[in-house]
Amino acid sequence: MPVSNKYIKQIQDRAKKAINKSALYGEDIDLNKFQKFIERGKIESLELLPELAKEAALMAGVDVEEKERSGSYVQMDHSVVYKKLSKLYEGKVELMSTNEAVETYDWLEDYFWRIVQPDTDKYTAQVALNPTHGYFIRILPGQKLDYPLQTCLMIAEGYISQNVHNIVIVEEGAELHIITGCTLSKSDAVGIHLGISEFYVKKGGKLFFTMIHNWAENFYVRPRTAVVVEEDGVYVNNYALLKPVKSIQSFPSVYLKGDRASARFNTVIYGLKDSYIDLGSKIIFEGKDTKGESLARTIADHKSVIYSRGDLIAKTKDYCMGRLDCRGIIFSNDASIYAIPQLISYGADRADLSHEASIGPISEEQVEYLMSRGMTKDEATSLITSGFLNLDIPFLPEIIDKHIKEVIQITSKEAL
Amino acid sequence: MIKTLKTEGGIKMAEMLKVRNLHVSVEGRKVLEDINFSMDYGEIAVLFGPNGAGKTTFIMTLMGFPKYKIEKGKIIFKGIDVTHMDVSERAKLGMGLSFQRPPVVRGVSLRKLLNIIGNGRKEEEIIQYAEKLNLTTHLDRNVNDGFSGGEVKRAELLQLLMQKPELVFIDEPESGVDLENIVLIGEITNQLLGRGQRIKDPKKSAIIITHTGYILDYINADKGYILLNGRLQCRGNPRDILSEIKKNGYRRCFTCQ
């Protein structure tokens, strides 16, 4: 049974009213520029992706050989070109396009447009009115996969608006790791990626979500994400943006609804060229003994502008603990960083919230120290830079960790 | 009074380091004046002197740190004029320095740094040295992050073992280190300099700064120098100098001026 027409219509009606509504942050984008629609055929294996697409996928952390992956979902422009779940996990986890899920499950109504509102701004409205897939992943109670599931949202053509809606449900006691690579195989493409993500982590569940963005100079990105974590649930969000982008703005919210729920954001941003980057994280503490941490490392080079936001919002009357740690380095006189940590307590008289924000140069002392070991100044600077961005993220699969470190190294060498 | 000793051993080896008429300032303040100093291959020199005399400035200048500005004079290393070379170039030529208070390098593990310094040499070598220095559990920690005084010294030596410099500068190897560690540090320093083994590597040299002189119990130093008010004053047997300082402090050295 599909989601009821009545509900879909309600969503669309709300969206229609917001079709010209600007977002709170970030430059306003005229979506009328991106009208092209492209339908693509399916492929049998990721190895059969065109070379440029394969390269783009790799740069976004996608393993085309699928060796250490439980399954893959790849979308190119407006089409799902590949979807595969290892036979081992059939009946344990579901993987399909969200359009398909809407057609299949009437109960999806309880998760679809529930924590991200369709009338938030013109971008949410666009996805509500013209959805072009996105992934639906649901792991059944108590299940755990040996390897992460990987998803790849790719753009291969110019003047496209990719309007994806992702829904992830981690049922009680289940554990899931998703690696998402969002990427561009046509590096000069002008276009926009709109991504709605609604994630639900139920009682005792764990969701490790790793996202790698690999965009380019002419590309706009507007993700809208919300996550609900129930009792004893864990949500970990790892995010890396190490390539240029025209502009990106996103401020994901995690609601720690259940007692002892916890969340952690690890964010690594390297601002290059004319990138306009406005990224943040918001943790809302509603349950008792909830815990949230947000770590961000940003480097602004060339003419990039970075807003690094972080909100900790306590609403519980019980104990909760939140910590923000946001550090930045400016590499160029033409770049800027705005570090904006914010702590808010709504009568939460037992909440313990703290933040640490800093913007400072690379230490000369460290550079000289490494030079005295035989490194050149550039080599020393590049090593310190990659160290600065290295968050030693827990639960990150080794291969992704290695990949991020490699990209950081390439980026920091190129930037010099 | 400390007497200047004659060169021992008969054949005089070629000079590894030659410092001529060196004047150095730090942040506009004169620190070293008219230093003349030379060292043979395979020689270990010990530098004594009260706080603020310019000992650290001397070795930091030799290593090429830009904060230490050479106003006048020349530094010749292995026959090459390195006066205007940067730290990295001097390191590549064979100089190395053990820092007294090295900085923390966050996000970079000691193992990674050692691999870079080792430049493609085998990981087993790192592990072997780390075991010797009781630093195996530190390999995956950030460089110098939360290391104790002794751990810092040992980690510096570990890096130098991978770097294999021909001329090593060691700034106060015994400061902040307990007795047990001094023994180990002495032993490893000997290894670093190719001493204490059956075959002595005559090429490796060192300048060691010491306050207490404890390190002299473990390292067979060849020469001692006293630096006072930015000038090199005396040269002599390091043990004689040490016992003189222990007895009379630096008073007699001042009169010796």
Point out the residue among B86, B105, B119 whose CB comes nearest to the CB of A371: B86
DSSP per-residue letters across A194-236: EEEEEEEE-TT-EEEEEEEEE--TTEEEEEEEEEEE-TT-EEE
* pLDDT in the model for residue A145: 95
A273/A410 same-domain check: no
A374/A357 same-domain check: no
- Greatest Cα pair distance, chain A, in angstroms, is 70
pLDDT tens sequence across A316-363: 999 999 999 999 999 899 999 999 999 999 999 999 999 999 998 889
For residue A412, give the H/E element and its range.
Answer: helix A398-415
* pLDDT in the model for residue B157: 95
**Average pLDDT score, chain B:** 89
Provide the number of structural domains found in chain A: 2
A97/A190 same-domain check: yes
A272/A374 same-domain check: no
ipTM associated with this complex: 0.92
A314/A393 same-domain check: no
**Which residues of B fall within a CB distance of 8 Å from A299?**
none
Point out the residue among B65, B66, B163 whose CB comes nearest to the CB of A373: B163
A173/A272 same-domain check: yes
* pLDDT in the model for residue B198: 58
A397 CA: distance to closest CA in chain B (Å):
17
Question: In the CATH scheme, what is the homologous superfamily, with its name and number, of domain B39-60+98-256?
Answer: P-loop containing nucleotide triphosphate hydrolases (3.40.50.300)
C-alpha distances in Å from residue B18, one per residue of A9, B74, B130, B192: 87, 8, 34, 22
| Residue where one domain finishes, among candidates A326, A347, A364 | A364
A302/A399 same-domain check: no
A247/A389 same-domain check: no
pTM of the model: 0.84
A59/A69 same-domain check: yes
pLDDT tens sequence across B189-209: 999 998 866 556 678 999 999
- The angle subtended at Cα A218 by Cα A328 and Cα A151, nearest 5°, is 75
* Distance (Å, whole) CA A304 – CA A281: 20
A82/A134 same-domain check: yes
Look up residue A120 and give its two tokens: 């938030």
The nearest alpha carbon in chain B to A377 belongs to B88
Look up residue B32 and give its two tokens: 């070293």
Low-confidence ranges of chain A (pLDDT < 50): none
* pLDDT in the model for residue B4: 35
Q: Is the dihedral of CA A74, A75, A76, A79 positive or negative?
A: positive
| Residue bearing tokens 């140069």 | A361
**Which long-range contacts does B34-40 make (Cβ < 8 Å, 24+ apart)?**
B34/B73, B34/B231, B35/B73, B35/B231, B35/B232, B36/B232, B37/B225, B37/B232, B39/B15, B39/B167, B39/B205, B39/B207, B40/B12, B40/B13, B40/B14, B40/B15, B40/B16, B40/B205
* pLDDT in the model for residue A61: 87
* pLDDT in the model for residue B251: 73
* Distance (Å, whole) CA A62 – CA A52: 13
CB atoms inside a 10 Å sphere around CB B229: 15
Q: A295: alpha, beta or left, given left = phi > 0 and alpha = psi -120 to 50?
A: beta
Q: Are B24 and B232 in contact (CB under 8 A)?
A: no
Q: Report the first-to-last Cα separation within chain A, whole angstroms.
A: 56
| Per-position pLDDT tens, chain B of length 257 | 443 333 444 444 578 999 999 999 999 999 999 999 999 999 999 999 998 999 999 999 999 999 999 999 999 999 999 999 999 999 999 999 999 999 999 999 999 999 999 988 889 999 999 999 999 999 999 999 999 989 999 999 999 999 999 999 999 988 888 888 888 999 999 999 988 665 566 789 999 998 888 889 888 899 999 999 999 988 899 999 998 888 888 877 665 64
**Which residues of A fall within a CB distance of 8 Å from B102?**
369
Of B208, B166, B203, the C-alpha closest to B82 is: B166
Q: Are B172 and B210 in contact (CB under 8 A)?
A: yes
A35/A152 same-domain check: yes
| Residue where one domain finishes, among candidates A364, A382, A401 | A364
* pLDDT in the model for residue B11: 43
* Distance (Å, whole) CA A352 – CA A343: 10
Look up residue A252 and give its two tokens: 């994901």
Query: Could you list the residue range(s) of the whole structural domain that residue A317 is in?
Result: 5-364
Does B88 contact A377 at a Cβ distance shorter than 8 Å? yes
- Phi first, then psi: what are they for A267, rounded to 5°? -125, 130
Residues 380-409 of A with CB under 8 A from B: 380, 383-384, 386-392
| Residue bearing tokens 């790799």 | A58
